[in-house]
Amino acid sequence: MITLLDYGAGNVRSVINAVEAIGEKVNVVAGPEDILSAEKLIFPGVGNFGSMMRILHHKGFVEPLKFYLRSGRPFFGICLGLHALFDKSEEAPEMDGLGIIPGGVKKFDIDLSVPHIGWNGLNIKTASRIFNGLRGDEKFYFVHSFYVEPENDNVVLTTTDYDVEFTSSIQQENIIATQFHPEKSGDPGILLLKNFIQPSHEPTALSRVSRNSRLAKRIIACLDVRSNDQGDLVVTKGDQYDVRENGNVRNLGKPVELAERYYKEGADEITFLNITGFRDFPLKDIPMLAVLKQTSKHVFVPLTIGGGIRDYADKDGKKYTALEVAAAYFRSGADKISIGSDAVLIAEEYIKTGRMTGKSSIEQISEVYGAQAVVISVDPKRVYVSSPDNVGHHVIKTDIKGPNGEEFCWYQCTVKGGREGRDIDAVTLVQVCEKLGAGEILLNCIDKDGTNSGFDIELVNAVKDAVTIPVIASSGAGCVEHFYEVFTKTKVESALAAGIFHRKEVPIAAVKAYLKDKLEIRVTQ
Ligand code: 1PR
């Protein structure tokens, strides 16, 4: 029996699903006694070091945890479950860690985007049976802004390179802990968890040991989801956000089935966008919760969910906070949430007052679940102007001339699925959202959506140059070359597509095969 320490972190359901996929039963800790009596303990953590340690103290878990860790029984920590083992963290200097492994937790201070989000490799420093059956060059999924610095190198199991070489997993006798998320790292991740749970005797040699690892460019499959006129939840796809064909909502398949197909085809992440999320369902009836629960049972790569994340009141006047909506999505298997319309309204308010209230959905969710869990979905469209003067927005000089030969344009943000244009531009929006605690930008483009004419490179560069957090290029992919173009003409970390995957015009495997020898890519087949 595996005992799982759930202190309220986001990714507990994903770990339970992974352990059950290995055929093991999971007992979730209800009280300190469950820690003391555990045979094998897994401690998954996502979010903020400070709020984690406060909750552990509040629940009376700190002393039983220390007792368990010193008892010699098997322990597996994930992400914050690794950080908790150390003395201190720069993320919350006022809080002590468990102090089991001497050393601290540092914030990345590098020229690359932070958080470090995506698939990166492991430089294996010490042989360990948890790697049995792996080749050694597999990639694992990371999502973090802080990393551990052990005082003694002898506990370092692996390192990973991301502008600096940092410790990505440790082992000290019965204690193993990883910075990356095995529960979200596909088959190699499941195998690593299996090796911890069902240990074989001796470590086996690895055929391909990496000396320095590299972060892979991410290929993301996006499922725009809404109910059709018959009330069925379908994957649809718009042409410049218009999802109707002959008056009917385009139906391109069932959300869970398509997500499982893309997982098998090698998608690095899967994003669900509930495109009518601005309609006010009672929280428990939000249709996407069931889709997430079913999908996360069989899909072991990161899941992002967007649509309708904001404070709202349902038709009976019952109020819900954005944090409650996000918590329901995390508890259903989401790793990241994406905020669209509400982010535009928050940024407008911030520009008006210049004050960070701490009350916005971005600040609230980022505080509890960590910046890396908050994605901002931007829905901009081009507005051409004859000159950059007196526009009051971030204007670019464009090679794609306007209808009257204009050489300048700005990108107007919209809300409610492109239905309403707002007086704010995309560059200003992303800068404000990063300041408020967002960890990643999903940069769509209404002009390019569904056109198969390639990504809007000028928009992508304008936004990527304006923020230090990772950016996902989205909208317009029509062929494998479009992915190569966006990854070579811009510095984005990820590229997302929908229509070409749904209509089986370009399989994910074809995109990866084309990029394989040109760029760092996670190869699964
Ligand atoms: O505003 O917080 O409730 O979130 C609503 C979410 O739903 C937003 O993230 C918004 O982007 C999305 N959305 C709303 N309406 C539509 C629509 O299509 N009518 N879809 C919509 C957005 C954009 C991409 C699409 C890419 C790739 N679709 O997600 O997948 O453009 O498409 P392609 O590869 O076929 O070109 P809130």
Q: Using one digit for the tens of pLDDT, what is the confidence trace for 431-448?
A: 999 999 999 999 999 999
SS (H, E, C) 36-102: HCCCEEEEEECCCHHHHHHHHHHCCCHHHHHHHHCCCCCEEEEEHHHHCCCCEECCCCCCECCCCCC
pLDDT (0 to 100) of residue 390 = 86
Pocket test for ligand 1, best of 275, 276, 446, 455 (most atoms within 8 A of CB): 275
Task: Identify the active-site residue in 91, 138, 161, 224.
Answer: 224
Residues 6+ positions from 499 with CB-CB distance below 8 Å: 237, 450, 452, 477, 505
- What is the predicted pLDDT for the residue at 438? 98
Distance 226 CA to ligand 1 centre (A): 11
| pTM for the predicted model, two decimal places | 0.95
- C-beta 444 within 6 A of ligand 1: yes
Does the C-beta of 183 come closer than 6 Å to ligand 1? Answer: no
Q: Is the CB of residue 478 below 6 angstroms from any atom belonging to ligand 1?
A: no
Closest approach atom of ligand 1 to CA 445: 31
The residue from 183, 335, 434, 493 that is catalytic is: 183
Atom number of ligand 1 nearest to Cα 416: 1
Lowest mean pLDDT among 193-207, 214-228, 508-522: 193-207
pLDDT above 90 covers what percent of the chain? 86
Q: Which amino acid residue places its CA nearest to atom 23 of ligand 1? A: 444
380 C-beta closer than 6 A to ligand 1: no
Q: DSSP strand E in 246-400: where?
A: 248-249, 269-274, 303-306, 312-313, 319-320, 336-339, 374-378, 380-385, 395-397
CB 186 less than 6 A from any atom of ligand 1: no
Catalytic residue chosen out of the listed positions 83, 116, 144, 181: 181
Dihedral of CA atoms 205, 208, 213, 218 in degrees, nearest 10, equals: -120
The string of pLDDT tens digits covering residues 138-172 is: 999 999 999 999 999 999 999 999 999 999 999 99
DSSP string, 169-208: EEEETTEEEESS-GGGSHHHHHHHHHHHHS--SSPPPPS-
CB atoms within 10 A of CB 316: 7
Distance 207 CA to ligand 1 centre (A): 43
CB of 3 sitting under 6 A from ligand 1: no
Active site residue 232: no
379 assigned to active site: yes
**What is the pLDDT at residue 129?**
87
Question: Which of 269, 449, 486, when mutated, tests ligand 1's pocket best, judged by the most ligand atoms within 8 Å of its CB?
Answer: 449
Catalytic residue among 91, 268, 269, 379: 379
Q: What is the pLDDT of residue 487?
A: 98
Q: Is the pLDDT of residue 281 over 70?
A: no
For this structure, is 183 an active site residue? yes
Q: Kindly state if the Cβ of 138 falls inside 6 Å of ligand 1.
A: no
Residue nearest to atom 16 of ligand 1 (CA): 417
Q: What are phi and psi of 16, to 5 degrees?
A: -60, -45
Report how far residue 269's alpha carbon sits from residue 222's, in angstroms, rounded to the nearest whole number: 9
From the CA of 343, how far away is ligand 1's center (Å)? 14
How far is the centre of ligand 1, averaged over its atoms, from the C-alpha of 118 (Å)? 22
Read off the pLDDT of each residue in 314-320 and give the average, rounded to a whole number.
87
Is it the case that residue 285 has pLDDT exceeding 70? yes
- Residue 513, pLDDT > 90, answer yes
Distance 309 CA to ligand 1 centre (A): 14
465 given a catalytic annotation: no
Q: Which of 79, 409, 433, 445 is catalytic?
A: 79
476 C-alpha vs ligand 1 centroid, how far in Å?
Answer: 12
What's the confidence (pLDDT) of residue 19? 97
Taking residue 96's Cβ as centre, other Cβ atoms within 10 Å add up to 14
Decide if 181 is catalytic: yes
Q: Which two tokens stand for residue 291?
A: 């889709």
Higher pLDDT, 170 or 314: 170
Give 385: exposed, middle or buried? Use CB within 10 Å, 0-12, 13-18, 19+: middle
Q: Which residues of 333-357 are buried (b: 16+ CB within 10 A; e: fewer)?
A: bbbbbbbbbbbbebbbebeeeeeee
Identify the DSSP state of 226.
E
Distance 273 CA to ligand 1 centre (A): 6
